[in-house]
DNA sequence: GTGAAAGCGCTAACAT
DNA sequence: ATGTTAGCGCTTTCAC
């Protein structure tokens, strides 16, 4: 019907006119817990329905200075772990009546431009599961009271708030599991070389192995770039057809790489896992629990981490001040399945 | 420093004051292509940087009536296909300078409340990859000139715009492939019984089989609920340990279910695929191309579908009117790998 | 090219 | 409980 192009739609003024009340009454009718009589509210709601009125949150954000939106910044969704993380954040935030802006940042991309966009939209908070924050941007966010929390990553010298899994401890756990199962030679498939997550897991794993009397030369390193194909090709290239070069145990720094490694081992060498080579992962994604893998891994408790992140954002509490430099580490935990012998 | 709680931050007025210009000049300085001298613009940008000024998009949306945001409504991210779809939309929209609101709708949940939230945020458009739209909501969106396009789904009697893959034709393609390979008995693993996507693929598959002289009794149906576990358990339950009951060919209505079926077949019966049973999928997700599967499937061309969707939304063209009832079907295409013999 | 002034649709005091 | 009024931070005529 309307040939006009402007986003039309009734406003609270139209509704007020139809219901024969003031415009503020309309506002109150749509505000839970506002002072308004049941009778008047019904009349207003009725008028609103007739006009297909929908309150304009943009306009209200302008006055309230809260947009009820949160930005979630993601890197690669090729790692299913982050898909589950996204899902958890969206579900939780949506249940709180908040909307989620999803951003993706290609690897290595500068994030400042992204953060700028995030800030323009007056988000109430931002969650970074990828990318780095420049000091300048961190300052701007701090100035504007926009809480930011880094999820499973941190910037060594900075005072940004972070929630992460105990990646270092998890690496140690895996080393212990391998050692207990009698492994003496090892390979690690590493993720993003710049990522603290991968670094910490690698460090925990290596240190525990060294403490267990393993020599540095018995710990191979393979670059897997955090993705399935990286790990798959990485082990293929590393071992060629030289079955004798295979270690006793392989640690995939995350599950999806462990899965890639398993597939490569089976395809190229037709190996038995764990009889011929044992494999361990990290994350505990549901995909790793499936039959062809039944991967023994270290669990990152997503729900706890998500809760902690939301908590740290302090969206509900207007007096909340995001303490700088808080670093919450959620303990990780061994999940035993079939890829490492036990007992 | 600031103990205040209000989202502070410099405004264009502050910047104007510091730069010694009018507030409108500041606005122009941040508007590409506005009338302003290079010299003045630089001065303003400089002042803005000093004050850590970031333009408030919320405020500008209020006047321009365009928010540069788009809502993407998703169902379950357990199907990797939709993860890739999300990724494609976010990447494309982000490149256009638009932000993406991500919503998830649990299965069976009424979507009206969700759409209401979407509308409140004055999105410039919405993409539904899940859930149904009530007529009332469809009308409201139409009234307000908010274009909506259904992605890979449609409401039979409605005039909503839709972009979808040729699911029916794809089903036929798969039936033909099986027939050509000599299969005479079949099973289909179906997805959401209410979803048009699953229904259409099932219909195309069945009709082609019937045309090929196959009897209805030779086409088993298994409910897989669109997810890996559904398919895995579905075939386990259906065939028990009765290897003789297995058909020649199994069609997973989507790749992730085909993968679940393959795993079940291999685990329970230690079957060879395709020697003992052939398997086909639909979607062509990268996961299905991995070694343990090498799944022959029907491709949904995500990029084309995403382009068509964005196109239909017509976000850039202010005169664009979303034609009701447009139904764009993107052709599907066979992708041959190793799970159906060829020649 | 530039500034002044008038809103955009709403919420938040402030009266009543 | 309800109406009046004054903005929120910006874009957009409209003069100059």
Establish if A341 belongs to a structural domain: no
Residue B300 pLDDT greater than 70, yes or no:
yes
The pLDDT of residue B74 is 95
Supply angle C-alpha B84, B250, B281, rounded to 5.
Answer: 15
CA–C1' gap, B64 and C7, in angstroms: 12
- How many structural domains compose chain A? 3
Establish if A340 belongs to a structural domain: no
CATH number of the domain residue B42 falls in: 1.10.260.40
**If we measure between CA atoms, which residue out of A289, A285, A267, A183 comes closest to residue A226?**
A285
Whose structure tokens read 């240190």?
Answer: A207
Statement to judge: residues B10 and B106 lie in one domain: no
The pLDDT of residue B324 is 75
Closest CA–CA distance from residue A50 to any residue of chain B (Å): 11
The pLDDT of residue A198 is 97
Cα A262 from Cα A264, distance rounded (Å): 5
Establish if B313 belongs to a structural domain: yes
pTM reported for the whole predicted model:
0.96
Window 231-270 of B: residues touching A by CB (8 A cutoff) are 232, 263-264, 266-267
Statement to judge: residues B105 and B118 lie in one domain: yes
Residue A120: left if φ>0, alpha if ψ -120 to 50, beta else—which one? alpha
Footprint on protein of nucleic strand D, Cβ below 7 A: A 21-25, 28, 35-37, 39-40, 59, 62-63, 65; B 11-13, 23-24, 27-28, 30-31, 53, 55-56, 59-60, 62-64
Spell out which residues of chain A touch residue B80, defining contact as CB-CB under 8 Å: 80
Domain final residue pick, A11, A28, A55: A55
Which regions of B61-184 does DSSP assign to beta strands (E)?
69-74, 99-104, 125-128, 148-151, 161-165
B233-242 average pLDDT score: 94
Tens of pLDDT along A106-164?
Answer: 876 678 889 999 999 999 999 999 887 888 888 889 889 999 999 999 987 778 899 99
Statement to judge: residues B262 and B207 lie in one domain: yes
Q: Which residues of chain A have pLDDT under 50?
A: 1-5
Residue with minimal CA–C1' distance to C6 is B63
Greatest Cα pair distance, chain A, in angstroms, is 86
Measured between CB atoms, which of B69, B263, B290 is closest to A291? B263
Of A316 and B339, the structure prediction assigns the larger pLDDT to B339
The pLDDT of residue A314 is 93
Establish if B343 belongs to a structural domain: no
Establish if A186 belongs to a structural domain: yes
Question: Cβ(A188)–Cβ(A205) under 8 Å?
Answer: yes
**Residue in A1, A3, A100, A144 to test binding to B, most B beta-carbons within 10 Å:** A144
**If we measure between CA atoms, which residue out of B180, B190, B274, B184 comes closest to residue B231?**
B190
Tens of pLDDT along B108-118?
Answer: 667 888 999 99
Statement to judge: residues A38 and A153 lie in one domain: no
Domain final residue pick, B18, B33, B55: B55
Q: Is A176 on the interface with B (CB under 8 A)?
A: no
The pLDDT of residue A284 is 98
CA–C1' gap, B144 and D3, in angstroms: 29
Statement to judge: residues B196 and B232 lie in one domain: yes
Q: Which residues contact A307 (CB under 8 A, 6 or more apart)?
A: A92
CATH number of the domain residue A115 falls in: 3.40.50.2300
Statement to judge: residues B31 and B47 lie in one domain: yes
Q: Is A86 on the interface with B (CB under 8 A)?
A: yes
Q: Is B89 on the interface with A (CB under 8 A)?
A: no
B24-37 average pLDDT score: 96
Statement to judge: residues A245 and A313 lie in one domain: no
B212 falls in which pLDDT band (50, 70, 90)? very high
Establish if A343 belongs to a structural domain: no
Task: Please name every residue paired with B327 in a beta bridge, in sequence order, or none if there are none.
Answer: B162
Question: Cβ(B131)–Cβ(B164) under 8 Å?
Answer: no
Establish if A337 belongs to a structural domain: no
Statement to judge: residues B214 and B179 lie in one domain: yes
Note down the domain range covering B264.
Answer: 167-300
Q: Is the peptide bond before A167 cis (omega within 30 degrees of 0)?
A: no
Establish if B271 belongs to a structural domain: yes
CA–C1' gap, A40 and C9, in angstroms: 21
Statement to judge: residues B173 and B246 lie in one domain: yes
B157 falls in which pLDDT band (50, 70, 90)? confident
Q: Do B120 and A57 touch (CB under 8 A)?
A: yes
Statement to judge: residues A116 and A201 lie in one domain: no
Statement to judge: residues A172 and A251 lie in one domain: yes
Question: Cβ(A269)–Cβ(A246) under 8 Å?
Answer: yes
Chains A & B: contacts with CB separation below 8 Å: 154
Spell out which residues of chain B touch residue A119, defining contact as CB-CB under 8 Å: 54
Residue A242: left if φ>0, alpha if ψ -120 to 50, beta else—which one? beta
What share of chain B has pLDDT > 90, as a percent?
84
Q: Give the number of other CB atoms < 10 A from CB of residue B244.
A: 5
Statement to judge: residues A176 and A208 lie in one domain: yes
């Amino acid at each position: 019907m309307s040939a006009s192009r402007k986003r039309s739609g009734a406003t609270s003024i139209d509704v007020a006119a139809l219901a024969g009340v003031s415009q503020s009454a309309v506002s109150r009718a749509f505000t839970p817990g506002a002072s308004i009589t049941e009778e008047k509210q019904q009349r207003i709601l009725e008028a609103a329905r007739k006009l297909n009125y929908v309150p304009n949150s943009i306009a209200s954000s302008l006055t309230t200075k809260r947009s009820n939106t949160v930005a979630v910044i993601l890197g690669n969704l090729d790692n299913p772990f982050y898909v589950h993380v996204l899902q958890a954040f969206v579900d939780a935030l949506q249940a709180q009546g908040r909307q989620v802006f999803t951003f993706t940042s290609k690897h290595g991309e500068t994030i400042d431009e992204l953060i700028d966009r995030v800030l323009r939209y007056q988000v109430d908070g931002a969650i970074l599961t990828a990318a780095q924050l420049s000091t300048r941007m961190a300052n701007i966010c701090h100035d504007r009271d926009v809480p930011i929390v880094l999820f499973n990553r941190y910037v060594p010298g900075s005072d940004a708030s972070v929630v992460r899994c105990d990646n270092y401890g998890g690496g140690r756990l895996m080393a212990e599991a391998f050692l207990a199962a009698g492994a003496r030679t090892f390979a690690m498939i590493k993720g993003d070389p710049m990522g603290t997550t991968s670094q910490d897991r690698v460090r925990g794993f290596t240190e525990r192995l060294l403490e267990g009397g393993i020599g540095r030369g018995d710990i191979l390193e393979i670059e897997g770039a955090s993705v399935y194909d990286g790990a798959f090709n990485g082990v293929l290239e590393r071992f060629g057809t030289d079955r004798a070069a295979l270690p006793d145990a392989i640690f995939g720094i995350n599950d999806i790489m462990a899965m890639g490694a398993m597939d490569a081992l089976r395809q190229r060498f037709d190996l038995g896992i764990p009889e011929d080579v044992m494999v361990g992962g990290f994350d505990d994604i549901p995909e790793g629990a499936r039959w062809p893998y039944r991967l023994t891994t270290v669990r990152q408790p997503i729900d706890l981490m998500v809760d902690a992140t939301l908590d740290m954002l302090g969206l509900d509490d207007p007096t909340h001040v995001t303490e700088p430099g808080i670093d919450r580490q959620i303990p990780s935990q061994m999940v035993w399945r079939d890829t490492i012998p036990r007992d």
